[in-house]
Chain A
Amino acid sequence: MSRIKTIGSEILGLFVEDARLTVGLAVWIVVIAATRPWWQGAPHIGAIALFAGFAAILCENVFRAARNGNAIR
């Protein structure tokens, strides 16, 4: 059982290191999916919004980590 837990946490660790970053990215993915009817008429907007949101979330996350200076593994 503990081996399964270890393998599970190793696999999860491949994708999740900072929960705030993961949640931020996941929320943006859901937002883009939910607003699809709105941007479907101009699909370039969806593409640009997708990238811009992810880049902004990354920047906000590292700025926060730099200010806190301790939220890092």
Chain B
Amino acid sequence: MIDIAHSGPVLAASFLASLVECVEALTVVLAVGAVRGWQPALTGAGMAGVLLALLVAIFGPGLSLIPLALLQTAIGILLLLFGMRWLRKAVLRAGGVIALRDEAANYSSEVASLRAAGGVGRWDPIGIATSFKAVTLEGVEVVFIVIAVGAAGGALLPATAGAVAAAILVTAIGFVLHRPLAQVPENALKFAVGIMLSSFGTFWIGEGYGVAWPGGDWSLPGLVAGYLIAAAIAVGAVRHIRRRDMLAAAS
């Protein structure tokens, strides 16, 4: 039985995570389109889209054959590791330890490397391969998130809907603007998605182990709040450490 306490966060996590990945993939597809033409850019992206849809179709329903406790624990561990990776990086970026991702700079660098690759013939394997690789690499993360947050909780439909909505939104905006979406607050999105995926991961590991979450499924928003507080404290402390070290270095 899927309820709003579960399907709401599933849809939101899938939508936001896919938004981040689609923005990153769009940067490369736009660069291919601008330098080598739209035919190879869209051919590569389309081929990757078909491959990713096949992965969801194969692995999504197939996971239901695995015993639930084992599935919850395994998916929970993977979600936790994936979410914590994003959350750690987002905290360190928010704290100023590592630089924020710059889509405009990535676009320029991609354009330069595509120009250096030489002229464009009638059939452009370089353009197709570049676009295919970018969409596949970013898309695999989306596929993992859709399957993980969807399959373990029996909410594959809202998870897929969130990802598809994000892909349509980013594609539409990107092709209207014809430039990378550098204004998207990517680190804030990664921060939010990291918190959500870490919460799902923790929840499913606990379910697999048989812990009793206070409030049942409603503990998911509680876990989100808990991780948000922990991450906010971490950002504050990281900024403090940075300031203290910079002052010490200056004196």
Contact of B92 (CB < 8 Å), options: A32, A44, A50, A62? A62
Task: Please state if A54 and B202 are interface contacts (CB–CB under 8 Å).
Answer: yes
Which residue on chain B has the smallest CB distance to residue A68? B97
- Chain A positions within 8 Å of B213 at CB level: 47
- Chain B positions within 8 Å of A22 at CB level: 81
Task: Please state if B81 and A43 are interface contacts (CB–CB under 8 Å).
Answer: no
**Nearest chain A CB to B89's CB is how many angstroms away?**
7
A51-B223, A54-B84, A66-B242 given; name 16 further pairs at CB < 8 Å.
Answer: A11-B140, A17-B88, A25-B81, A36-B209, A47-B211, A47-B212, A50-B205, A50-B206, A50-B209, A59-B233, A65-B92, A65-B238, A66-B97, A69-B97, A69-B245, A73-B98
Q: List 27 A-B contacts (CB under 8 A).
A: A11-B140, A14-B140, A14-B141, A14-B144, A15-B82, A16-B81, A17-B85, A17-B89, A25-B80, A47-B206, A47-B212, A47-B214, A50-B209, A51-B227, A54-B80, A55-B226, A55-B230, A58-B87, A58-B231, A59-B237, A62-B88, A62-B91, A63-B237, A65-B92, A66-B92, A66-B238, A72-B92
**Nearest chain B CB to A53's CB is how many angstroms away?**
10
**Nearest chain B CB to A28's CB is how many angstroms away?**
10
- CB interface residues, B 178-233, toward A, < 8 Å: 198, 202, 205-206, 209-214, 219, 223, 226-227, 230-231, 233
Task: Please state if B84 and A21 are interface contacts (CB–CB under 8 Å).
Answer: yes
Count residues of chain B with CB under 8 A from any CB of chain A.
42
Task: Please state if B85 and A16 are interface contacts (CB–CB under 8 Å).
Answer: yes
- Chain A positions within 8 Å of B214 at CB level: 44, 47
Task: Please state if A58 and B219 are interface contacts (CB–CB under 8 Å).
Answer: no
- Chain A interface size range: 35 or more
**Contacts A50-B205, A63-B234, A67-B241 given; does A21 touch B77 at CB 8 Å:** no
Per-residue contact bits, chain B 75-115, to A (CB 8 Å; 1 contact, 0 not): 00110111011011101100101100000000000000000
Which residue on chain B has the smallest CB distance to residue A43? B212
Q: Tell me the complex Cα distance, A40–B141, Å.
A: 35
Interface membership of A27, Cβ < 8 A: no
Q: Tell me the complex Cα distance, A68–B57, Å.
A: 44
